[in-house]
Homo-oligomer: A and B are copies of this chain.
Amino acid sequence: MTASGSRTYVSPHEVTAAWSDAGGDRVVRVVVDAAGGDNAPAEVVRGALQAAGPHIHIVFVGDEPTVRGLLPADAAYVSVVHAADVIGYDEEPAWAARNKTGSSIVVGLKLVHEGEADAFVSAGNTGAVVAGSLLYVRRIKGVQRPAICTVMPCMPTPIAFLDVGANAEYRSEHLRQFAVMGQAFAREVMGMPEPVVGLLSIGEEPTKGTPDVIEAHRLIAADGHIRFYGNVEGRDIMNRVVDVVVTDGFTGNVALKTIEGSARGILGALRQTIDLSAKTKLGGLLLRRDLLRLKHALDPNEFGGAILVGVSAPVIIAHGSSTARGIAQAVRMGRRAVVSELLPSIAAELGAHAPTV
């Protein structure tokens, strides 16, 4: 936030700038799936190169000649591991992750598992990244289900929102674990000192919701390690009532895409409003710079994507439509997660000494 007080939103850059500074001189090796995403490989390679530097070494996985053809002659802090195969968007995730062992996703996740790299970034088939992470990177001991935790653009600052799609089915104990992991991510990676968690439901009272949500409310409230606000409703996500919103993967995925669709719909309608007449066009011109900043603040790509929490290395799931900027931010989030206390924190809170439920 600037000191003037006239701005009530924080640019994504201000939030993520801290990512580059954390971890001092430590060198982190980030695998980037050059074959995944609507704009792969060109935008993916371009974005990863933007993030590459003395403290971020990029390991591209993909078709080696293609990737090398996209690298400038003087490319530094970059290596390439060949992966002949690709898992497409339409492929059955669990099957593909198990069988397409020559795919960029599987080759990349194995590099992380074998200690050849520290984090993994892909804008490819999300289900295959999740399934592959379970197979090759493995869960942290004590974690029942990993969850996809996204950085959701809100006013004035973003929140952590999970699960946005790793699990379509769940039990109430999973929601308690998501609360623990989301809280750890908000604290260790997003930099919030004492993040407060809300449980998404259809009313504030602990008795509102499905039986699983009501039971999850009880479990989370009883967990002394979670700063629990109580239930929040759909409208509270964007209104930023809490720092972390927890829900199941079906509801979370619907809510995330609903918000993306609403933002796009409203900003689109705004653009059409500006195009109505010479008068409105002039109005739009006067607002142009600030409207772009608003659009920018609402763009989920600016945060690089989501993280799969609960597996034993940072796996970053970038938007399928990521631009170079989105990939660069995803790589930076990966480094931040590696140098942070995210994994030890989750292991400590959900490991052997987890509260009995």
Cβ contacts under 8 Å, A238 to chain B = 258, 261-262, 264-266
Q: Is A73 close to B, CB under 8 A?
A: no
Report how far A267 CA is from B279 CA in the complex, Å.
20
What CA separation (Å) do A280 and B235 show in the bound complex? 28
Q: Is A286 an interface residue (CB 8 A)?
A: yes
8 Å CB contacts to B: which residues of A143-186? 154-155, 165, 168-169
Are B255's CB and A274's CB within 8 A?
no
In angstroms, Cα B211 to Cα A134, docked, is 21
- Chain B nearest CB, measured from A287 CB (Å): 4
Cβ-based interface call for A326 (8 A): no
Number of interface residues of A (CB under 8 A): 65
- Measured between beta carbons, the chain B residues less than 8 angstroms from A211 are 169
Within 8 A of B (CB), among A274-300: 274-276, 279-280, 282-287, 290-291, 293-294, 297-298
* CB nearest to A257 among chain B residues: B234
Q: Which residues of B contact A291 (CB under 8 A)?
A: 270, 273
Assess whether A99 is interfacial by the CB under 8 Å rule: no
- How long is the Cα–Cα vector from A298 to B265 in the complex, in angstroms? 10
A6 within 8 A of B: yes
A155 and B265 contact, CB distance less than 8 A: yes
Residues of B with C-beta under 8 A to A257: 233-235
Q: Are A266 and B266 in contact (CB under 8 A)?
A: yes
Q: Which B residues are in CB contact (< 8 Å) with A269? A: 8-9, 155, 294, 297-298
Bound-state Cα–Cα, A290 to B260, Å: 23
Residues facing B in A191-205 (CB within 8 A) are 200-202
Selected contact of A8 from candidates B6, B209, B237, B272, CB within 8 Å: B272
Q: Assuming A257-B233, A267-B266, is B290 touching A286 (CB within 8 A)?
A: no
Least Cβ–Cβ distance between A246 and chain B, in angstroms: 12
> Is the CB of A116 closer than 8 A to any CB of chain B?
no
Residue A133 interfacial (CB < 8 Å): no
Contact in complex: B261, A6 (CB < 8 Å): no
Those of A86-124 within 8 Å (CB) of chain B:
none
CB of A263 closer than 8 Å to a CB of B: yes
9 interchain residue pairs of minimum CB distance: A234-B257, A283-B286, A235-B261, A234-B258, A283-B287, A262-B262, A238-B265, A202-B253, A234-B254
